[in-house]
A and B are shown apart, each in its own frame.
Chain A
Amino acid sequence: MNSIVNGMVNGRPVPPSRVRGRVLAAVALLLLAGLTAWSAAGIGVTLEVFLNASRIGRLVEESFPPAWNFWPRLVKPLLETVQIAILGTLFGGIAALPLAVLAARTVSPSRPLYWLSRNVMNVLRTMPDLFWAMLFASAVGFGPFAGSLALTVFTVAVVSKLTSESAESIDLKLTEAVRASGGNWLETVWFSVLPQVLPQYVSYVLYAFELNVRASTVLGLVGAGGIGMVLNTQRTTFQYARVTMIVLFIFAVVLAIEQLSAAARRRLV
């Protein structure tokens, strides 16, 4: 729409900084459009499939009504799912605390330790939960043990990052007071840092628990235990009425636990 010629936009002179801004904006837009075109071509985006009503119709027919009578076989896997989430949150929550303290700039005892823990945190956060699940399932074998380990790492990644940010914004006067009265590093952490970050830390752990309940429902897709194992069997054998039943079950439990956890967090903060 806007033609930029010799520092003139639409024939009107504009200050050079604005010209540069517009050129930059145009380049950025072109880049984004290029990225989008590249993605669309790579994916093979097409609207044709939506016109293929028969396929959609068949899926709906196969998925509804849900296989209500399938529920007795879902109770135990669903409890297992919740158990995986609890253990992952517990292990991960405990492991996250020391890492968070080391990775908080204002509290960390030494530069190299700060740098190291910060990078460990960043690398842990790059990997999605199901990647950890695949790796652990491959290392220790299929089952919920692999799932709890995956969620442990995932929890460490989430909670340590958030808690270290909270630890960086605490009131340092208390820390100084402990140090001035002869406290060593561990004592300053114990008496000034932990009491100040504790409420936030607990609310982060609860938040991680919500994420973990969600994540634990699909861990079974890669053999890491829980209701996802049942889901995978039904999915690969195209029992979509059962798949829908499982999804509804997951849906109900995720929402219920989220409500509980959110209520607990509200009481905390």
Chain B
Amino acid sequence: MTARALGRRRGAMSGTAWIGIAVAALAAWSFSGLDVSGSRLVALPAMLARMFGQFFPPDVEYGRASVVPAILESIQIAWFGTLVGAVLSLPLGLAAAGNLFPRASRAIKPVLAAIRAVPEILLAIYFVPVVGLGAFAGTLAIGLHSVGTLAKLTADVVESMDERPVEAVSASGGGSASVLRFAVLPQVLPEIVALWLFRFEINVRASAVLGVVGAGGIGGVLLNTLRYRAFPEAGAVVVLTVVVVLAIDAVSGALRERLVRE
């Protein structure tokens, strides 16, 4: 395998050269278009050190009183949004599986792709005027986007499952309800639940930024502390966010491993 990879590499040399030229041209174009310069890059480490230096020690009292509640709100948004996404995506994802429902699949998949193409924060911009500022708008945004991603991944899992149980159930006279209940769900559900957990980890990060457009959670707090250059307070936001996200990743990752292994 390795020998083949090496051989292919040598054969593709001229192609590689072209790609190199294209990348260099794109880089040059991007450099010229932006406010990036050598002198700014040289000054960067000192600027970062100055700011991050002021983050420490973080303001513990502010962390306790203002940061922790906002982070908890972000977690609530992520949890409930993931739940909404999971509940709605299960039937949609099954219907979008090409091996079970070919016609429905062709109709649903483009819709899911369209939902996925809009980032959560853009969805939140539309939900805020309808339901008002706050966590509920963020939850709806996370929920809707999760439907798009989870239904697609659910369909992928179903499409790559073992088809033999399906044949067995229908051969012994089972209708499509029995096929779903006895042949499809038992084999795909653990993997799908693992996907939900993984989506929850992603949604924690996504919900953390929704506060930027007023949709609740910790993002608005960070934006405000930085706007007023309240760096010890911003330090509390950053440190607590890192700790909480690491903890959630660890718990959720362990659960996922158990689910997929069993």
Contacts and interface: CB of A to CB of B under 8 A. Distances in A.
A171 B1 contact: yes
A130 B27 contact: no
A254 to B, nearest CB: 6
B135 A44 contact: yes
Contacts of B50: 139
Given A36-B83, A42-B72, A243-B125, A83 B34 contact: yes
B55 to A, nearest CB: 9
B178 interface: no
Interface string A82-118: 1110110010000000000000000000000000000
A74 interface: no
B5 interface: yes
Nearest to A84: B34
A87 B27 contact: yes
A35 B79 contact: yes
A238 B75 CA distance: 29
Given A83-B34, A127-B242, A218 B130 contact: no
Interface in A106-148: 122-123, 126-131, 134-135, 137-140, 143-145, 148
A151 to B, nearest CB: 11
A244 to B, nearest CB: 9
Given A40-B80, A45-B80, A87-B36, A195 B241 contact: no
A198 B9 contact: yes
A235 interface: yes
Interface residues of B, number: 64
Contacts of B170: none
B212 A86 contact: no
Given A87-B34, A135-B226, A128 B126 contact: no
B86 to A, nearest CB: 11
Contacts of B208: 128, 131
A49 B130 contact: yes
Given A80-B34, A83-B33, A39 B79 contact: yes
Contacts, number: 166
A39 B207 CA distance: 13
A222 B249 contact: no
A8 interface: no
A13 interface: no
Interface stretch (B40-48, B59-67, B94-102, B180-188): B40-48
- Max chain B C-beta neighbours (<10 A), residue from A52, A82, A83: A83
B216 A43 contact: yes
B238 interface: yes
Given A122-B249, A138-B229, 9 more contacts: A39-B80, A44-B134, A59-B130, A83-B30, A90-B30, A126-B245, A196-B5, A214-B119, A218-B121
The 5 closest A-B pairs by CB, nearest first: A39-B76, A83-B30, A126-B245, A130-B209, A128-B205
Interface of A: 35-36, 38-40, 42-46, 49, 52, 55-56, 58-59, 63, 79-80, 82-84, 86-87, 90, 122-123, 126-131, 134-135, 137-140, 143-145, 148-149, 171, 174, 195-196, 198-199, 214-215, 217-218, 221-222, 225, 231, 235, 238, 240, 243, 247, 250-251, 254-255, 258
14 contacts: A87-B27, A90-B27, A123-B246, A126-B249, A127-B242, A131-B241, A134-B222, A138-B234, A139-B47, A195-B5, A221-B213, A222-B212, A238-B129, A240-B129
